[in-house]
Structure 1
Amino acid sequence: MSDTATPRRKGPTKGIYLLPNLFTTGTLFGGFYAIVMAMGGRFDHACVGILVAMIADGLDGRIARLTNTSTDFGKEYDSLCDMVAFGIAPAIVVYAYSLSGLAEYRWLGGKLGWVIAFTYAACAALRLARFNVLANIAGGSKDFFGLPSPAAAALVTFFVWSAVDVWGVAGHEVLLVAAPLTLLTALSMVSSIRYNSFKKLNLAGRMKFLPFAAVVGLLALVAINPPQVLFLVFLGYALSGPVSTLWRRLRKPTAQSPST
């Protein structure tokens, strides 16, 4: 009999890191809260739930990196929570508020509204899956390919928030805007358009006075009118991808023919 001890297999890690996963759970809570509020017709509260989910999602990864508690479990859990908060919840919010009114037009047997909402949810799932794959590639691009799902959720839900709280209009009155906005936002998530990820932004470093003043001014505007300002901010971000792509193509030097 051999005296060599058989190495023990490592079992599954017991326990998870509390702090980062607590914020990730906050993302899930915000999405779930938005769904419940939308089902009750309280669309302003639903949009606040998405905003809470975005804040929690922006903090969990940073906290995990700062505390050196990043794990594969945390990444998978974050992706699942993002799907609820930025895929399912926005689709239900915009459908319950406006897209359900497309049933009156009998297109696709009266189901065009939920087809658009489902398309949004499916594109969000594809976007998150692609992000997970690209994140595992060493030396990958620092930019995003396709509109990030949190920004897409913000664009759709903050449109609803503005329509309810600022413009004071019913869902059927903005139906012809909500439908193409939702569909185009969905398609932009699965596009190959580059979007700035702001990963190079160093919040701990020095900043020039003018950009700092602009950030302070933007925060002041958000405090005055959160729905409309946030909608315009994320609309600008959604348009920045196609505009910058077009700009790069226009500035791309044309190949010169070799001299003879």
Structure 2
Amino acid sequence: MTDAKNDNALHDDDDGEVLEPVRPRRKGIYILPNLFTLAALFGGFYAIVMAMHGRFEQSVYGVFCAMVLDSLDGRVARMTNTQSTFGEQMDSLSDMVSFGAAPALIAYEWTLKGLGKAGWIAAFVYCAAAALRLARFNTNLAVVDKRFFQGLPSPAAAALVMGLIWAVEDAKAGGAVMPGWMPWLAFGFTLYAGLTMVTNAPFYSFKDITFKRSVPFISIVAIALGIAAINIDPPNVLFGLFCTYGLSGYIVFAIKKAKGKPVSVIATSTDEPDEKGLHH
């Protein structure tokens, strides 16, 4: 019976013409967007290695480079029409290393290890929250309002932790002495960044901004002034911007709550009972 089925699979018409068996098509991997993802992964790995050698400013640069590359891989994939499920999974794994494990380990090596058990607990909470945030993002991708992130995005959380390290290391290079309460400040920042990733606070995503639309002339002037302000003192100015964004979700949440508007970024509800808690 099996032989008969196999014989039939080789024939396509009644004339008895034997055709070659159809072989399954191999699925390839798009090189260009995944090169950006691998480069971002290398940035996170490099940051960890530099922290192991006490070169924390280099660690900051590694994570920041990973942020830039992470913002480009998806855009490159869309521009070249090379999106793939493999690329999406690769991007999530890269984010977990660069914006989850790397900031937690760097913060621990920087000053949290001086707190003993409290230090590694804070680092673990951040790392676990990053994993939970990425998993929730992937499962809620189809139902979340594109204008907002549900919770602090992992690159922004990493920017909070690494921004603090950069600002302090820059001050130390200028002759400042790290105060005794700095480990507890790092403890607070690490916990805040981690827990904020798994909240439902809406953080603006900037995804509705397009460069194809004309803007007023004053917008270009504002951008030029912003670049000039950053160049005055990059570590502290950028750290201030990171902190502002890190608080913005709670401010938006409070304003919407006060006005009686919906505060959830879930656009529609799903039917899965195990995901009901994600939609409130």
TM-score, structure 2 length as denominator? 0.82
- 8 A Cα contact 1:97 1:171, kept in partner: no
Q: Which AA in structure 1 matches 2:118?
A: L
**Deviation of 1:7 (Å):** 7.1
Q: What is the alpha-carbon distance in structure 1 between the residues aligned to residue 77 and residue 177 of structure 2?
A: 42
Q: What is the alpha-carbon distance in structure 1 between the residues aligned to residue 230 and residue 56 of structure 2?
A: 19
Q: Which residue of 1 aligns with 2:145?
A: 141
Q: What is the alpha-carbon distance in structure 1 between the residues aligned to residue 215 and residue 33 of structure 2?
A: 28
**Deviation of 1:100 (Å):** 0.8
| Match status 1:161 vs 2:162 | no
Structure exhibiting the larger radius of gyration computed from Cα positions = 2
**Deviation of 1:12 (Å):** 4.0
Q: Which AA in structure 2 matches 1:141?
A: D
Q: Cα RMSD over matched residues?
A: 1.9
Q: What is the alpha-carbon distance in structure 1 between the residues aligned to residue 232 and residue 224 of structure 2?
A: 13
Q: Which residue of 1 aligns with 2:264?
A: none
Q: Write out per-residue CA displacement over residues 171-222 of structure 1, whole angstroms, 9 at most, x where no aligned residue.
A: 8541121111110110000001111111100122212233332222222222
Q: What is the alpha-carbon distance in structure 1 between the residues aligned to residue 219 and residue 253 of structure 2?
A: 24
Q: What is the alpha-carbon distance in structure 1 between the residues aligned to residue 85 and residue 118 of structure 2?
A: 38
- 8 A Cα contact 1:31 1:84, kept in partner: yes
For 1:18-57, what aligned pairs fall within 5 Å after superposition? 18-57=31-70
For 1:210-225, what aligned pairs fall within 5 Å after superposition? 210-225=218-233
- 8 A Cα contact 2:144 2:150, kept in partner: no
- List alignment gaps of at least 5 residues for structure 2: 13-18, 262-280
TM-score, structure 1 length as denominator? 0.88
| Match status 1:207 vs 2:215 | yes
Q: Which AA in structure 2 matches 1:113?
A: G
For 1:83-232, what aligned pairs fall within 5 Å after superposition? 83-103=96-116, 111-135=117-141, 137=142, 140-142=144-146, 143-166=148-171, 168-170=176-178, 172-232=180-240
Q: What is the alpha-carbon distance in structure 1 between the residues aligned to residue 162 and residue 91 of structure 2?
A: 20
Q: Which residue of 1 aligns with 2:274?
A: none
Q: Write out per-residue CA displacement over residues 211-260 of structure 1, whole angstroms, 9 at most, x where no aligned residue.
A: 3322222222223322112111111111110011101111228xxxxxxx
Q: What is the alpha-carbon distance in structure 2 between the residues aligned to residue 10 and residue 223 of structure 1?
A: 55
* Corresponding residue SS for 2:140: helix
- 8 A Cα contact 2:48 2:106, kept in partner: yes
Identity %: 45
- List alignment gaps of at least 5 residues for structure 1: 104-110, 254-260
- 8 A Cα contact 1:101 1:171, kept in partner: no
| Match status 1:68 vs 2:91 | no
| Match status 1:240 vs 2:241 | no
Q: Which AA in structure 2 matches 1:13?
A: K
The count of aligned residue pairs is 243
